[in-house]
Copies of this chain bind each other. A is one copy, B any other.
Amino acid sequence: MTKDPLVIFTPSGKRGRFPVGTPVLTAARQLGVDLDSVCGGRGICSKCQVTPSYGEFPKHGVHVEADALSDWNSVEERYDQKRGLPKGRRLGCQALIQRDVVIDVPAESQVHKQVVRKRAEVRDIVLNPAVKLFYVEVTEPDMHDPSGDLERLEIALKKEWGINGLQVDIHLLPELQGTLRKGNWAVTAAIHQVGDSAPHLLRLWPGLYEGSIFGIATDLGSTTIASHLCDLQTGEVIASSGTMNPQIRYGEDLMSRVSYAMMNEGGAQEMTHAVREGMNSLFDELAQEAGIDKAAILDSVFVMNPVMHHLFLGIDPYELGQAPFALATSSALALRTSDLGLNLHPSTRAYILPCIAGHVGADAAAVTLSEAPDKSEDLVLVVDVGTNAEIQLGNRDRLLACSSPTGPAFEGAQISAGQRAAPGAIERVEIDPETKEPRFRVIGSDLWSDEDGFEAAIATTGITGICGSGIIEAIAEMRMAGIVDASGLIGSAEQVGSTRCIPDGRTQAYILWEGRDDSPQITVTNPDIRAIQMAKAALYAGARLLMDKLDTDQVDRVVLAGAFGAHISPKHAMVLGMIPDCPLEKVTSAGNAAGTGARIALLNTTTRAEIEATVKRIEKVETAIEPRFQEHFVNASALPNAAEPFTLLREIVPLPDVSFNTGGEGAGSARRRRRRG
Report the Cα distance A357→B148, complex, angstroms.
8
Give CA–CA (A148, B355) in the complex, Å. 9
Interface residue? A290 (CB, 8 A): no
Helix, strand, loop or mixed for chain A's interface?
loop
Is the CB–CB distance between A148 and B319 below 8 Å?
no
- As a 0/1 sequence over residues 123 to 145 of chain A, the CB contacts with chain B under 8 angstroms (1 = contact) are 00000000000000000111111
Say which one of A246-254, A309-317, A487-495, A629-637 lies at the interface with B.
A309-317
Identity of the chain B residue whose Cβ is nearest the Cβ of A198 in the assembled complex: B198
Within 8 A of B (CB), among A318-337: 318-319, 323-331, 333, 335
Across the interface, A330 reaches (CB within 8 A) one of B143, B147, B171, B315, namely B147
Q: How far is the CA of A325 from the CA of B145 in the complex (A)?
A: 11
Which residues of A146-172 are within 8 A (CB) of B?
Answer: 146-151, 168, 170-171
Q: Please, how many angstroms separate the alpha-carbon atoms of A664 and B316 in the complex?
A: 83
- Residue of chain B at shortest CB distance from A327: B148
- Residues of B contacting A143 in the complex (Cβ-Cβ under 8 angstroms): 323-325, 358, 622, 624-625
A429 to chain B, nearest CB (A): 39
Cα distance, A624 to B144, chains bound together (Å): 10
Given A141-B326, A177-B328, are A333 and B146 also a contact pair (CB < 8 Å)?
no
State A319–B141 Cα separation when bound (angstroms): 11
A176 adjacent to chain B (CB < 8 Å): yes
A642 to B149: give the CA distance in the assembly, Å: 40
Known A-B contacts A170-B339, A177-B328, A314-B174; the reply to A625 vs B149 at CB < 8 A is no
Q: Tell me which of A146, A177, A323, A357 has the highest count of chain B C-beta atoms within 10 A of its own C-beta.
A: A146
Contact: B330 with A173, CB < 8 Å? no
Known pairs A143-B622, A326-B141; A316 contacts B358 (CB<8 A): no
Looking at the complex, which one of B150, B327, B355 makes contact with A328 (CB distance below 8 Å)? Answer: B150
Chain B residues near A173 (CB-CB < 8 A): 313-315, 328-329
Neighbouring B residues of A323 by C-beta, 8 Å: 143
Known: A141-B324, A173-B313, A314-B173. Contact between A329 and B151, CB under 8 A? yes
Give every chain B residue within 8 A of A142 (Cβ-Cβ).
324
Whether a CB of chain B sits under 8 angstroms from the CB of A203 is: no
Is A620 in contact with chain B by the CB < 8 A criterion? yes
Chain B nearest Cβ from A257, distance in angstroms: 16
State the CA gap A314–B173 with chains docked (Å). Answer: 8
The interface size of chain A toward B, counting residues with CB under 8 Å, comes to: 46
Q: What B residues does A324 contact at CB under 8 A?
A: 140-143, 146
Q: A315-B174, A318-B177, A324-B141 are in contact. Are A148 and B622 (CB under 8 A)?
A: no
Query: Which residues of A600-652 have CB atoms within 8 Å of chain B's CB atoms?
Result: 620, 622, 624-625
CA distance A149 to B620 in the complex (A): 16
Decide: A328 near B176, CB < 8 A? Known: A144-B625, A358-B146: yes
Q: Does A150 lie within 8 Å of B329, measured CB to CB?
A: yes
- Kindly report which residue of chain B lies nearest to residue A320, judged by CB atoms: B177
A144–B622 touching, CB < 8 Å: yes
The answer for the CA separation of A502 and B330 in the assembled complex, in Å, is: 84
B330 touches A177 (CB 8 A): no
- Given the known interface contacts A177-B318, A325-B143, the answer about A148 and B331 at a Cβ–Cβ threshold of 8 Å is yes
> A359's closest neighbor in chain B, by CB?
B146
List 9 extra interface pairs beyond A143-B622, A150-B331, A170-B340, CB under 8 A.
Answer: A140-B324, A142-B324, A143-B323, A146-B324, A150-B328, A151-B331, A170-B339, A177-B318, A177-B328
Can you identify 28 A-B contacts, CB atoms within 8 angstroms?
A: A140-B324, A141-B325, A141-B326, A142-B324, A143-B325, A143-B358, A143-B622, A146-B327, A146-B330, A146-B356, A146-B358, A146-B620, A147-B330, A148-B328, A148-B329, A148-B331, A149-B329, A150-B331, A151-B330, A170-B333, A173-B315, A174-B316, A176-B315, A177-B315, A177-B316, A177-B318, A177-B319, A177-B326
